[in-house]
Amino acid sequence: MPATTLDQLVSLCKRRGFVFPSSEIYGGLQGVFDWGPLGVELKNNIIASWWRANVYERDDMEGLDAAILMNRLTWRYSGHEETFNDPLVDCRDCKSRWRADHIKGRCPNCGSTNLTEPRPFNMMFKTSVGPVADADSFAYLRPETAQGIFVNFGNVLATSSRKLPFGIAQVGKAFRNEINPRNFLFRVREFEQMEIEYFVMPGTEDEWHQRWLDDRLAWWESIGVPRERIRMYDVPPDELAHYSKRTFDLMYNYPTLGYEEVEGIASRTDYDLGSHSRDQETLNLTARTNTNRDSTARLTYYDPESKRHVVPFVIEPSAGVGRCFLAVLAEAYDEQMVKAPPAERIGAVTDALDAFLKSVGRSEKLAPETRDALLERGQAICEGLPETMPQIETLLAMPGADQIELGKKLRGQAQGPIDEYFRTVLHLKPHLAPVRVAVFPLKRNHEGLVAMARDLRRTIQTGSSFRTAYDDTGAIGRLYRRQDEIGTPYCVTVDFQSLEDGTVTVRDRDTMQQVRIPASEVRAYVGG
């Protein structure tokens, strides 16, 4: 079963080092996160899978990596200086600041309706380039990667000899000064985008829009996010961005959050290339653009058939890496009861959980919403026991739980049975798993076993595109659990028989079944 709450994912990311708050030792920075050792592997594998599907496996795409800092004029003519705004309101009572469209007229902090009128807030971060900070040195951190592609359209066309239709793909950082960053990786101020600008002959854009929708849904399926978990939202005209003729938003059913946008597929007409072109009046543009007296280029395509210069139309599939990472984790997440714990141990956990929740209910230290969140989650766990027992780890990692003394007792009662009778497992697709293969010696203090296991790890790793790990820091059962929790598809154990006949056991993460094969065949077996 996929994750049922966002907290399950936050807790896993924290305890296994997928994601850390940025500059945590100084109190962090709101809306900014760092990728830990496992997080960076999973993220890189997602990006590699996207690049492979959209650049290598097609014959109509080129890649690009444009700079984050760009000439400020880019953002004037893209329309971002004027329109990249969110409506901002202040609460006059508690002085907090909110996005007007997120709060339904009531301050989420203190409940007051005494709010200021909404006013536009531009979300682009500003910086200065060079030693003197004046009006001429002013630059923005890009709020999307797309504009780097549009301003390079002429360069790519001239150097690649592409014919329409063709696309340019880019993965890179984007920055938005979100008013209220929230929900872990979902809404942050620094994030990565995977964007495609696909250039087509005017008049064919609707057909290509549909084709890209189908292609993108197939990719989501290939990384473990099935079609039935994504809703397609055909954005109504009054909600469309300033550049869009039509947009399909892919909405993933996130735990706790419900359906939220994970990718947008926009039909951007000739707005972008037209906006960044000179001589606009000669280009027969359909889009309404600002008059551009600064550009030095006409971003057009010479169509050999009609012998005319045309401004291509654009289809843009654009996905956020962090939102994709969360969706992949949510889908892969599973808590399984491997064996039923004995009744007396369930009873002891139930009593400790009861006592903990009573203490939460009586606590004067906890803010009301923290108390309610703990109680709501705790009661749901109580009702679902014993299956929900692993969620006690998540409960105890929630904000405020550490202020309740009885949490220690609950952890004491619950941790043993959780480790013994349950497992958390990430059913990640093997090509996404942070570690594809883990190799263990049956005994860590046996020289022969350790040497063979270390050697095997090196052999599997050498020349392969995935990560292979060695671990001997616990008993085998515990090592399996640790790898299950990070989604390692294959665990290889070197035992005494290995020393005699050169075979090893390979355990499958999902079925927990083991096969014995020659060590020399492991690489091929795991798909290397």
- CA dist 133 to 61, 137, 177, 375, Å? 39, 6, 20, 52
Identify the residue among 107, 139, 146, 169 touching ligand GAP (CB under 6 A): 146
Q: Please state, in angstroms and rounded to a whole number, the distance separating the CA atoms of residues 415 and 389.
A: 9
Nearer to ligand GAP, 105 or 236 (CB): 236
Identify the residue among 187, 345, 423, 467 touching ligand GAP (CB under 6 A): 187
Question: Where is 434: in which H helix or E strand?
Answer: none
Nearest to 144 by CA among 79, 193, 86: 193
Nearest to 193 by CA among 80, 42, 319: 319
Nearer to ligand GAP, 103 or 235 (CB): 235
Q: Which residue is nearest to ligand GAP (CB)?
A: 320
Q: Does 317 bind ligand GAP (CB under 6 A)?
A: no
Q: Does 39 bind ligand GAP (CB under 6 A)?
A: no
Q: Does 417 bind ligand GAP (CB under 6 A)?
A: no
- Using the rule CB under 6 A, give the single segment among 36-44, 281-289, 315-323, 494-502 that binds ligand GAP: 315-323
Q: Which residues contact 318 (CB under 8 A, 6 or more apart)?
A: 144, 146, 193, 194, 195, 196, 263, 264, 265, 266
> Is the CA virtual torsion 8, 10, 11, 15 positive or negative?
positive
Q: Please state, in angstroms and rounded to a whole number, the distance separating the CA atoms of residues 411 and 418.
A: 10
Q: Does 190 bind ligand GAP (CB under 6 A)?
A: no
Nearer to ligand GAP, 142 or 482 (CB): 142
Of residues 461-480, those binding ligand GAP (CB under 6 A): none
Identify the residue among 262, 396, 486, 492 touching ligand GAP (CB under 6 A): 262
Cβ burial 315-347 (10 Å sphere, 16+ → b, else e): bbbbbbbbbbbbbbbbbbbbbeeeeebeeebbe
Strand partners, 230: 252
Q: Does 275 bind ligand GAP (CB under 6 A)?
A: no
Contact 511, 501 (CB under 8 A): no
Q: Does 254 bind ligand GAP (CB under 6 A)?
A: no
- Using the rule CB under 6 A, give the single segment among 165-173, 183-191, 362-370, 390-398 that binds ligand GAP: 183-191
Identify the residue among 5, 122, 193, 275 touching ligand GAP (CB under 6 A): 193
Q: Smallest distance from the beta carbon of 297 to ligand GAP, in angstroms?
A: 21
Q: Does 329 bind ligand GAP (CB under 6 A)?
A: no
Q: Smallest distance from the beta carbon of 188 to ligand GAP, in angstroms?
A: 4
Q: Smallest distance from the beta carbon of 334 to ligand GAP, in angstroms?
A: 24
How many amino acids of this chain bind ligand GAP (CB under 6 A)? 19
Nearer to ligand GAP, 218 or 515 (CB): 218
* Structure tokens given for 272: 């972008």
Nearer to ligand GAP, 326 or 349 (CB): 326
Q: In what order do the strands lie in the sheet with 97-99?
A: 97-99, 85-90, 119-122
Q: Does 142 bind ligand GAP (CB under 6 A)?
A: no
Nearer to ligand GAP, 266 or 414 (CB): 266
Q: What does residue 169 show for φ and ψ, rounded to 5 degrees? A: -110, 145
- CA dist 522 to 229, 507, 517, Å? 34, 11, 7
Of residues 51-110, those binding ligand GAP (CB under 6 A): none
Q: Smallest distance from the beta carbon of 63 to ligand GAP, in angstroms?
A: 17
Binding site for ligand GAP (CB under 6 A): 144, 146, 176, 178, 187-188, 191, 193, 195, 261-264, 316, 318-320, 322-323
